[in-house]
Amino acid sequence: MSTTRLPVLFVTDLVVLPGMVVSLELDDSSQAAIDAARSSSDGKLLVAPRLEDRYASYGVVATVERVGRFSGGSPAAVLKAEQRAEIGSGVTGPGAALWVEVEPVDEHVSDHARELAEEYKRLVVAVLQRREAWQVIDQVHRMTDPAAIADAAGYAPYLSTERKRELLETPDVEQRLATVIAWTREHLAEAELTDKIGDDVREGMEKTQREYLLRQQLAAIRKELGEGEPEGSDDYRARVEALVERGVPDDVRAALLREVDKLERSSDQSPETAWIRTWLDTVLELPWGVRTEDLTDVVAARGVLDADHHGLDEVKERIVEYLAVRARRAERGLQVVGGRGSGAVILLAGPPGVGKTSLGESVARSMGREFVRVALGGVRDEAEIRGHRRTYVGALPGRIVRAIRESGSMNPVVLLDEIDKVGADYRGDPAAALLEVLDPAQNHTFRDHYLELDLDLSDVLFIATANVVDQIPSALLDRMELVTLDGYTEDDKVAIARDFLLPRQLERAALTADEVTLTDAALHELAADYTREAGVRQLERLLAKALRKAATRIATGEPTPLAIDRPDLKALLGRPRFTPDVHERTSVPGVATGLAVTGLGGDVLFIEASASDGTGPEAGGGLTLTGQLGDVMKESAHIALSFVRSHAAELGVDPAFLDRRIHVHVPAGAVPKDGPSAGVTMVTALVSLATGRPVRSEVGMTGEVTLNGRVLPIGGVKQKLLAAQRAGLSEVFVPLRNEPDLDDVPAEVLEALTVHVVGDVLDVVRGALEPAAAGAEVTAA
């Protein structure tokens, strides 16, 4: 056939085959092709697919039947495809359209092609019968041209665009028919397999329903015969009804019965059956209605607490008060258990080794309750507290529910250990999940994600422990009653070692008090020079080491009884680790002794200052700070230097001295330090440096200072005074507004220390510095 020139209309998501009538939405290039066809080529144009990697080799010659707009207003055209054509090279033509040379394809039809066409018609009719498209079947029967029958595959929805493009680019009729026959047979095979699977599923469902009806009938027959369930089958309904006698709440009973109904309707092969059984077992194992009776003898309860722990009067008094109130309510017939606000949540905060964790078990024993410990250190998943949803594989209730189940009663003592070590990450914030647990006004309706039932925790006594209160979120801290354990005095440690630690370590070393004895002098030496801690853990370790050494000596033939006195400690434990060094550190001007609080309790902190020639105040105030100080402590140093400069005359400081570069250092630079309470210590160190008067070695101080010299209150007074006593200080300066806190300090500490309460930093400087030499000028050295 002859070659002709036609404008090209490219289509992207559509493949047009001969015989198809399509409507297209027109863009600028399509509109240009339509306009060119209507004006220059008798309404004919070439429709070709738009390919990403190449130009199409074949297209279809189509006639523009109609041009108009869709209902939405966009321009459109109706095209009727007539004949397949091979695309040649591009040529020029009128208008903005792209013109190409096209050569129509002469499609030869053989007898074999007619046989293939009849086979394809039978397959198409089979596909249409599955869809019940009877009108289309009639149209297929009327088709006789094999080429048209093959190209009718362009309407097949089960053929992909790529396959339809392959048909367009296959000019041989026989090959085209063979290809669509193979594709159609493949589609019919997949459809028959899908139908078979659907039939099998329906048959399985009908079988399951039939089995359920038969099981129900079998259960009815057993009931009439008076027979029980087969051996090995759990009678959940009977177990649920047995809970009613124990006082299970009505909503819990209703939820259990709903799940039992689901279980009875489910097949044993259903995965939901295992989930329901696990949930029922978990809920039924909870001690619904089981409560231990609290001891009403408050004197006996206090005796138990005193027998287990030395000191800790505040927390002991709180437990006794709790028992006394419950005993009076029981006597008067008032509600004792359950309800909003009836619980108690106590937070024991203090340094390690003071007995916080062991106190929880002692409290449970004094109250006659069950005890369970929940370790929260390092918990980062919110689901650890509130549980996982039942939809998750391997879902479990949270630690609170598991603690109740382990305790065996609904009113245990639950120790939440190391609550300040709870972390947070992408899985949630466990501290936020504890808000409801530790709120006495809300925990009577605590809801675990796994149980999805209201659990009454109002009768549970929660005792939380923490080392650093600042690390606990404020919202959580507000829900707990804070009881601070500030550490032990030296006399307390000796008493604890004599009455508690030594008997325990003697037993562990397989020794008796008749074989090895430790004098009080040796215990004092251990507490004062071998340990410097708020608690007694290190003291107990040293006792264990001494007793092991003693057991070794006895095993080698040394006679008993073996008495360990102060001179014997060096041979058993080595030289003392801590010796008083305050006098040595403060023997030169510019060094002052401050008091600080860490997570391990109170401690002494030395502030050192020195001066050297350098830039003056214009270069950062001429101040260098070292010792890994935090921002607040750096600000305190700048405030202290500014105060000394502005009050140089009152302090007897030569103003010229302060133009030198001042270096303030806090030793132990590897330890981060922060807080405002070192302000007065820095002022004292700077004045000592500027006047050449050393700070008295027996003096320690603490307090925040303002630019006007006012001494502001600080925290941790008790811990700081205990540290001052351990360090061998005899005088301490504390802020005036902290005077009420002295009531919490043990009497023996106040007797060993002379405590000065001051409101002006000038009073601290006057009292802390050594007196000036007689007749000497107070100038900078």
Residue 67, number of CB atoms within 10 A of its CB: 16
Question: Scanning the structure block, which residue is given the tokens 């009931």?
Answer: 223
Active-site annotation holder among 677, 688, 697, 718? 677
Instruction: Name, in order, each residue with C-beta under 8 angstroms of 622's C-beta and a sequence gap of 6 or more.
Output: 614, 615, 616, 658, 659, 660, 661, 662
Residue type, 763: D
Q: How far is C-alpha 122 from the geometric centre of its chain's CA atoms?
A: 65
Angle at 465 between CA 460 and CA 469, to 5 degrees: 125
- Give the ranges where 346-489 is alpha helix by DSSP (H): 356-367, 383-386, 399-407, 430-437, 474-477
Closest C-alpha among 145, 107, 106, 143 to residue 125 = 143
Q: Cα separation of 702 and 194, whole Å? A: 83
Active-site annotation holder among 121, 673, 718, 720? 720
Q: Are strands 704-705 and 344-349 parallel, antiparallel or unpaired?
A: unpaired
Q: Is 171 annotated as a binding residue?
A: no
Q: Is 378 annotated as a binding residue?
A: no
552's tokens: 């070794």
Q: Is 713 annotated as a binding residue?
A: no
- The question of whether 612 is a catalytic residue gets the answer no
Q: Is 397 annotated as a binding residue?
A: no
Q: Is 355 annotated as a binding residue?
A: yes
DSSP-assigned beta bridge partners for residue 9: 47
Phi, psi of 447 (to 5 degrees): -125, 115
DSSP-assigned beta bridge partners for residue 664: 609, 625
Q: How far is CA 443 from CA 380, 411, 451, in A?
A: 22, 13, 15
Q: Cα separation of 343 and 339, whole Å? A: 8
Closest C-alpha among 63, 43, 61, 50 to residue 11 = 50
Q: Do residues 343 and 439 lie in contact, with contact meaning Cβ atoms separated by under 8 Å?
A: no
Q: Is 412 annotated as a binding residue?
A: no
Helix/strand number for the chain, H first, E second: 28, 24
Q: Is 735 annotated as a binding residue?
A: no
- The question of whether 29 is a catalytic residue gets the answer no
Instruction: Name, in order, each residue with C-beta under 8 angstroms of 304's C-beta and a sequence gap of 6 or more.
Output: 362, 365, 366
402's tokens: 């598991």
Question: Scanning the structure block, which residue is given the tokens 């459809």?
Answer: 191
Question: Scanning the structure block, which residue is given the tokens 């600000």?
Answer: 635
Q: Is 352 annotated as a binding residue?
A: yes
Burial (Cβ within 10 Å: 0-12, 13-18, ≥19) of residue 304? buried
Q: Which residues are catalytic?
A: 677, 720
Binding annotation: 350-357
Residues of each annotated binding site for ATP: 350-357
